[in-house]
Structure 1
Amino acid sequence: MAERIQKELKEIEKNPPDFCSAGMVGGDIRRWQATIIGPPGTPFVGGIFKLSLTFPPKYPMKPPEVTFKTKIYHPNIDRNGNICFNILKDDWSPAYTISAVLVSLCSLLSSPNPEDPLEPQIAAVFLKNKVQYEEEARKWTAKFAMS
């Protein structure tokens, strides 16, 4: 496990995905912090979103635990930063890397899935009034993700 994580760490430091970065916390190979820059064309643009990653002992056979530490208004991310995302749950594959996970999370910011929400109220706003959803997401991004 540590060997695989070390390899991924070197790769992400050498060639980080667009709008993302990640690294160890305090020298602990099993705990990382990641950052996603709000993707262009989304209400999250300009925001800097911090995430926590914890690798289970059975990684890569089991997915990492990933949570948003920065508050975000999104139907698939709850108030505690938990993420409802298939590749971090049932659709996990050991072939995924942390770079791929971060890129997929950027895609989730660009294309929420209101059909499988963690925040049903936000999903309802997204489905009924996308303009209102985007306005609220921009407000949260300005309040919580911009220094």
Structure 2
Amino acid sequence: MSKRLQKELKEFMDAPQGWFKAELASDDNLFLWRVAIDGPEKTPFEKGTFKIEIEVPTDYPFKPPKVKFLTKIYHPNVKSDGGFCTDMLTTEGWSPQLKIQQVIDEIYRLMKEPNADNPLEPEIAQQFKTDKTAWAKTAKEWTKKHAK
């Protein structure tokens, strides 16, 4: 399935998006991507750039990629070790019709609208639900410290 992956990478190179940049982590490994996402406007992540690693399985597109934040982020859906999961990236939620572009879109969407009902970091989710101002303040501080 590396032909499909090469095609997807070529699409990124031919028509770059304004809010993210995707490239191979190394020239000789089509299955490991590095993505830099600009924090969405009007969120605590604004003005930050978040580096993400996407590990594409060799049986892609039949299995979902694994996503990991390399940049620390204060977010209910991102573990302290950078682990990231959303329904789309589970075996049940994944479909071979989905592309890496849609994975990146989903990451961006969750940066704009965290899902505190399905958290990987319960304490951050609790703060997000009960004291959004304090959550936003900490998230903004982390962005300033880690995502510049």
Distance 1:99 1:67 in 2: 15
Q: Which residue of 2 aligns with 1:127?
A: 129
TM-score between the two structures when normalised by the length of structure 1: 0.96
Q: What are the residue-to-residue correspondences of 1:127-146 with 2, within 5 Å?
A: 127-146=129-148
1:34-113 matches, within 5 Å, as 34-89=35-90, 90-113=92-115
Cα deviation for residue 93 of structure 1 reads 1.2
Deviation at 1:69, TM superposition (A): 0.2
Unaligned segments of structure 2, at least 5 residues: none
Q: Who is 1:21 aligned against?
A: 21
Residue of structure 1 equivalent to 2:119: 117
State the TM-score, normalizing by the size of structure 2. 0.95
Aligned residues between the structures: 146
Q: Distance in 2 between matches of 1:16 and 1:88?
A: 23
Residue of structure 2 in register with 1:9 after alignment? 9
Q: Is the 8 A contact 2:77 2:118 kept in 1?
A: yes
Distance 1:18 1:87, change over 3 A: farther
Identity %: 40
SS of the aligned residue for 2:82 comes to: coil
Between 1:14-23 and 1:129-138, the stretch displaced more is: 14-23
Show structure 1 runs of 4+ deviating over 3 A: none
1:48: Cα distance to partner?
Answer: 0.5
Q: Aligned letter for 1:20?
A: F
CA distance in 2, matches of 1:129, 1:67: 27
Q: 2:79, 2:126 → 1: CA distance?
A: 14
Q: Deviations over 1:67-89 (max 9, x none)?
A: 00000000000111111211111
Runs (5+) with no aligned partner, structure 1: none
How far apart are 1:101 and its partner, in Å? Answer: 1.0
Bigger mean CA offset, 110-119 vs 22-31: 22-31
